[in-house]
Amino acid sequence: MLLLVSVQNVEEAKQAIKGGADIVDVKNLQEALVGSAHPNIFKEVKKIAPDPIHSSLTLGVVPDQIGTVAMAVHAAGLLKATSVKVGFMKTEYSFALETLLACREALEGSNTMLIGSLFADNLIYEGGLNPSLMVDLSVEGKCDGFLIDTLVKDGRNLFDFISESELKDMVMSAKSRGLSTALSGHLKLSDLDELARINPDIVGVRGAVCSKGDRDEGVYWEAVNHFKSELDRRKSEGLKFSENISVDKVSNKTSRNFKGEVVIDGKGKSCAGIIAALSEQINLDKTSIVEVIIPDKLNTYDVFLWAKNDNHSIMNQHTDEDGNLRILVKP
């Protein structure tokens, strides 16, 4: 899980970077229901964000104006944003889809990733687009990934609108299709255990990393650092597999000398990338045993679940000398 911190200006970006944020997401919280930052602010943020820190842009809730939205997305590509998020609230599914497809076309020739976004609390608004459609919308809209966020500012957060199990299903479904996954929405330190079980690629926060925990007080580097440390601790410790997701064909008699016929190196890949690579390999070759290297223990949880759901066998597993888990998968 990567940590995304929402910032409104250069000073907040400096605090996020100092605290160890993986992604600095530039937005304007004063504009409508979350809006876009001025291009010059993003340019200044991008200047101070060293590799491998990503600089992303949020368009917030976009208007029902396809050309206008596509033009804004095109500008994000010209600014070389790592990603641009296009959010929908009271929009028909077909119109949101048409908008995303126009945005995909507008990013042609750019390395900027297109992220579709729906809000967990959309259904409390008349005509709100159901967030359960997020995976289908992202796939059909040719997005690189999705973000589920919230709009309410009444103390409720993501888990007040969508259950942990529903979010887990959405994230796993998206990962199996190669989409990156991001969850946000007034998340706090106390939500990290639930987030670890869901294991999105990205966790987005603001209020939790602001001074005094107040999103209007500004991002504070020590709060960012603490949140990042707690998130990383869960990544390194992993999860205890519950009975309903364990793969019963795992062998305790692991031979460390046994190698897969095909090796997928998951180092540097997101969980979605690992599962997509496994799926692609098995679709091409259903006879070879695949060895996958997993450096992030939380991703192990999802690989086991993916294997069980797709009826693949986990032959054995062991930890190598570098601390990476190596798993053998038989299609």
11/17 Cα distance (integer angstroms): 10
- Residues annotated as catalytic are 27, 85
Which of 39, 38, 28, 94 minimizes the C-alpha distance to 61? 28
Q: Which of 258, 191, 252, 184 is nearest to 25 (CA)?
A: 184
CB 173: neighbour CB atoms within 10 A? 17
Measure the CA–CA gap between 84 and 74, rounded to whole angstroms: 10
| Pairing status of strand 325-330 against strand 290-294 | antiparallel
What is the rounded end-to-end Cα distance, in angstroms, of the chain?
A: 27
**Maximum average pLDDT range among 176-190, 211-225, 271-285:** 176-190
Nearest of 296, 313, 242, 303 to residue 277 by alpha carbon: 303
Mean pLDDT value of segment 15-34:
90
Average pLDDT over residues 21-25: 97
Q: Which of the residue ranges 139-153, 245-259, 316-330 would you say has the lowest mean pLDDT?
A: 245-259
The pLDDT tens digits of the residues spanning 56-83 come to 999 999 999 999 999 999 999 999 999 9
150-164, pLDDT tens digit by residue?
998 888 999 999 999
What pLDDT score was predicted for residue 320?
85
Domains and CATH numbers, the chain: 2-237 (3.20.20.380), 262-330 (3.30.110.40)
- In terms of phi and psi (left: phi > 0; alpha: psi -120 to 50; beta: otherwise), the region of 109 is left
- What is the DSSP secondary structure assignment for residue 243, as one 8-state letter? T
Percent of the chain with pLDDT over 70: 92
Q: Please tell me the chain's helix, strand, coil percentages from 3-state DSSP, rounded to the nearest 5.
A: 40, 20, 40
pLDDT at 183: 98
pLDDT of residue 250: 43
pLDDT tier at 191 (50, 70, 90 boundaries)? very high
Mean pLDDT for 218-241 is: 87
The reported pTM is 0.86
